[in-house]
Every structure is written in C-alpha cells, then in structure tokens.
Amino acid sequence: MRVALVMGGGDAPGLNAVLRAFVKRAVGQLGWDVLGVEHSFQGLFPERFAVRPLTPLSCQGLLGRGGTILGTTNRGDPFAFPMPDGSTQDRGGELADAVRRLRLDGLVVVGGDGTQRMAHRLMTGHGVPVIGVPKTIDNDLGATDLTFGFRTAVDVATEALDRLHTTAASHDRVMFLEVMGRDAGHIALESGIAGGADVILLPELPYSPERVASKIHKRRALGRTFSIVVVAEGAVPRALAEGSLRERRARIDAGGGAAAIAREVLSPLVQAEMRFVVLGHLQRGGSPSPFDRILATRFGVGAVDLAAAGRWGELVCLRQGRIEGVPLGDAVQGPRLVDPSGELVATARAVGIELGA
Ligand code: F6P
C-alpha cells in the first residue's frame, strides 16, 4: 500500500500525533509507503510540489509537539483556487493527476469541515480514494463525538479563567475572556463551566446586554464585587444578531472582536472597571494534552485500519467511546452547534451561570 497524508485548515494540537501514529502503524508494522504532503493540498500542485516520505524515524519526538510538521493552510481551496487576476479556478483534476503520478492507493486527509468537503469532492468528482480524519479545536463536526485539540483548548481557556479570577477579584473588575468558536460555542461553554464563569456568551444564543448586566448587579448585591464573562468569538448581542453569518462576522471583526463588543454594550449598563483578554491562537498552539495525544493516536491508527480494510470514502470518528468509520458524505452535512436546550446548557444555568438569553 502506498498512501499520502494531507492536512488542511487551521492547525490543532494533536496533528503531529495523528501523523506519528499513522506512520508507526502503517510503515513500522505493515510495511506501507507513506508520504507527507506539505502546505495542505497545495503541496500537490506543480508550482508548490512538496511531498516527502515519512518514516518512524522521521516521526520521532512528535507525540507532544504542537502544530504540524507538514504545514497547513485554510487558504487556497483547490476547487476555487484564487488566481492572480482575481478569478478562481477548479484545480481538482490536477490533484487527481498528482495522486496518479505518485502511484498512490489513496489520500488520508486530516482536516475540519471544509477540508473534508474537499476530500469528498475529490473522491466523488475525480475518483480519488480518500479517508478522512476529523480535526478542529471547535469540536463542531457532527460525525464524531470529539475532535482532538478541543480538550487542549478547553484546558488552556480554563487555566486562563483561573488566572483571571484572582486579578478580577483583586481589582473588583468585570473581566471578559474571548475564546475561539465563530459558529459553535463548545469551547466557551465547557471552559466557562470548568473555569467558574459567571456569564457565558455563545454564538448560538444572541444575548441581551440587560440580562448580563442584571447578573453582574445581582452578584454585587451578594457582595461579589467582580465578574467573569466568557465570550465565544461568534457571540453577538441581540441587536447585532440579525443578518447573515458573513455580515455578523464582518461586524464583529470591524468592532474589534466579540469581547470588545460585549464590553462596549455593557459599559452604559454597569458601573465597573472592565477589561478584556482575547485568548486567540494560544488555544491552538503548543503541546496537546494527554487526552488529545491519545485521541489523535486512536484516529491515526483508525485511519490505517480503514485503509487496510479498503474502506475508502469513510471518516474516522469517535462514537460512544469507540473508533468507527462513517461515510464521508454523511459526515459533512453541517456543523454540530451547542444545543441551547441540551443538558450542558441546562447544567450551566443550574449552577447560576447567565447565558444572556
Ligand atoms: O476552526 C478553528 C478556528 O480556530 C476557529 O475557532 C477560529 O475562528 C478560526 O479557526 C481562526 O482561524 P485563523 O487561524 O485563520 O485566524
């Protein structure tokens, strides 16, 4: 067997651990040839061709290493590739040619929603056998109960909340922590619960500034002179919630981010010093947690198992504690958002966390 690994989209802690596990099993134990494609699908285009053999030796020390040694990008969709004159070009056929030239039995594509959609298109439109491995720190891929990188991001955000508590309490301030999650608020919800936030603002629940202010006032009345607000980067006040997702994003970006907007809309309602922190890519960089190293290793081995069984066209996933394969076509049916009437949201409310809606 001869396969190539490609990674697409933003990085996530655990990408290298997937690669390492895949190579250890496929090359070290089964004797396959495994190639690594650099810079996502672009490494298969002639002008940026970058493909190298991967061996257990070249994967040494990768288990706990953040980022990806292959490099990745969320730019340059091969099916709508941006050309210098501003137009876009469908270059899917070129990818298929490269796969044939390299005499590959198939591609293993590690990536999020968008990347898996491309993988699916490569398979259905160009006959390239693919196996998908899900990746996103947002944990919003519906096909799998968990993606690696998510737990690490929640750990980082929780630690940030612990640290913000002591400084917020010392200064009687309202502190906003903006965490990743443009469409799905899983990181905000889980880190908010784990970090004892007073308010959690999610993209799924446009918030009322008045409700948030009232929570802060109630805390004050109880002698709690500081408050901690976790803001997912896609969370917007109700007044901004109308309009398409694209418009909403543009408004958030133009306004300097979701935490900045939250502070702005709360300023007239709450008499307190307010500060905000944008955690940003600190959630994605660095070493994966032990949990994510294990999950990434399971996904890497699971991908080899699918390829060995000839189950091309499937995505490795974790379902009810077990590693399984699901048809890629079913897996790319849209994101899994936080369920506003789900158990975790109810738990947050039950311990007095205000969700602003
Ligand atoms: O999808 C993963 C993610 O980390 C989102 O949470 C975030 O909105 C986005 O990527 C950031 O992307 P970039 O690294 O391109 O700024």
- Residue-wise pLDDT for 103-153, tens only, equals 999 999 999 999 999 999 999 999 999 999 999 999 999 999 999 999 999
Same-domain pairing of 228 and 253: yes
Of 286, 317, 322, 357, residue with least CA distance to 68: 286
Question: In terms of domains, do 11 and 139 share one?
Answer: yes
Work out the percent of the chain whose per-residue pLDDT is above 90: 91
Closest residue by Cα to atom 8, ligand 1, is 182
The answer to whether 278 touches 179, Cβ cutoff 8 Å, is no
Name the domain boundary from 229, 261, 284: 284
Cβ atoms of residues 304 and 26 within 8 Å: yes
44 and 103 inside one domain:
yes
Tell me the per-residue pLDDT of 292-345, one tens digit each, with 9 for 90 and over.
Answer: 999 999 999 999 999 999 999 999 999 999 999 999 998 888 889 999 999 999
Residue 140: what residue type?
D
- List the CATH number of the domain containing 251: 3.40.50.460
What is the torsion angle, in degrees rounded to the nearest 10, for the CA atoms of residue 37, residue 42, residue 47 and residue 53?
0
In whole angstroms, what is the distance from residue 48 CA to residue 80 CA?
17
Q: Considering the domain boundaries, does residue 346 fall inside one?
A: no
Give yes or no: residues 21 and 76 share one domain: yes
Helix (H, G, I), strand (E, B) or coil at 20: helix
Whether 233 is in the pocket of ligand 1, judged by its Cβ within 6 Å, is yes
Co-location of 16 and 123 in the same domain: yes
Confidence of residue 251 (pLDDT cuts 50, 70, 90): low
Both 137 and 158 in a single domain?
no
Which residue's CA lies nearest to atom 14 of ligand 1? Answer: 10
Same domain, 102 and 47: yes
Shortest-distance atom of ligand 1 to CA 140 = 1
Report if residue 356 sits inside a domain: no
Distance of alpha carbon 29 from alpha carbon 14, whole angstroms: 21
Judged against a pLDDT cut of 80, whether residue 250 lies above it is answered with no
pLDDT over 80 at 255, yes or no: no
* Closest C-alpha among 210, 72, 93 to residue 136: 72
Report yes or no on 357 lying in a domain.
no
- Which pLDDT value is given to residue 158? 98
Q: Which CATH number does the domain housing residue 132 bear?
A: 3.40.50.450
Tokens 């508590």: give the residue: 165
Distance 26 CA to ligand 1 centre (A): 31
In terms of domains, do 269 and 190 share one? yes
Q: Is residue 352 part of a domain?
A: no
Nearest alpha carbon to residue 37 among 4, 60, 8, 2: 4
**Percent of the chain predicted with pLDDT > 70:** 96
Residue after which a domain boundary falls, among 223, 257, 284:
284
Cα 45-49-53 angle, rounded to 5 deg: 125
Point out the catalytic residue in the list 138, 140, 155, 292.
138
Query: In this structure, what are the phi and psi dihedrals at residue 200, rounded to the nearest 5 degrees?
Result: -125, 125
Domain boundary residue among 255, 284, 313?
284
Check residues 208 and 242 and name the one with the higher pLDDT: 208
How much distance in Å is there from the Cα of 10 to the middle of ligand 1? Answer: 6
The whole-number pLDDT of residue 294 equals 98
What would the mean pLDDT of 186-204 be, rounded to a whole number? 98
Decide whether any atom of ligand 1 lies within 6 Å of the 180 Cβ: yes
Give me the pLDDT at residue 120, please: 96
In a shared domain, residues 144 and 293? yes
By most ligand atoms within 8 Å of CB, the mutation choice from 116, 148, 150, 182 for ligand 1 is 182
304: helix, strand or coil: helix
Domain count, the chain: 2
Distance CA 1, CA 24 (A): 14
Other CB atoms within 10 A of residue 346 CB: 11
User: Is residue 245 predicted with pLDDT exceeding 90?
Assistant: no
**Measured in angstroms, how far is the CA atom of residue 323 from the centroid of ligand 1?**
26
Asked whether residue 239 falls in the same domain as residue 275, the answer is yes
State the pLDDT at residue 244.
Answer: 65
pLDDT at 351: 98
CA of 261 to the centre of ligand 1 (A): 19
32-57 pLDDT per residue, tens:
999 999 999 999 999 999 999 999 99
Which residue segment(s) compose the domain that 300 sits in? Answer: 2-148+288-331
Q: Based on the residue annotation, tell me whether 183 is a catalytic residue of this protein.
A: no
Please report the atom of ligand 1 found closest to the CA of residue 187.
Answer: 6
Q: Do 260 and 308 share a domain, yes or no?
A: no
Q: What pLDDT was estimated at residue 76?
A: 86
State the closest ligand 1 atom to the C-alpha of 180, by its place in the atom list counted from 1: 6
Q: Does residue 182 line the site of ligand 1, with CB under 6 A?
A: yes
Alpha-carbon span 356 to 349, nearest angstrom: 10
Q: Do 93 and 228 share a domain, yes or no? A: no
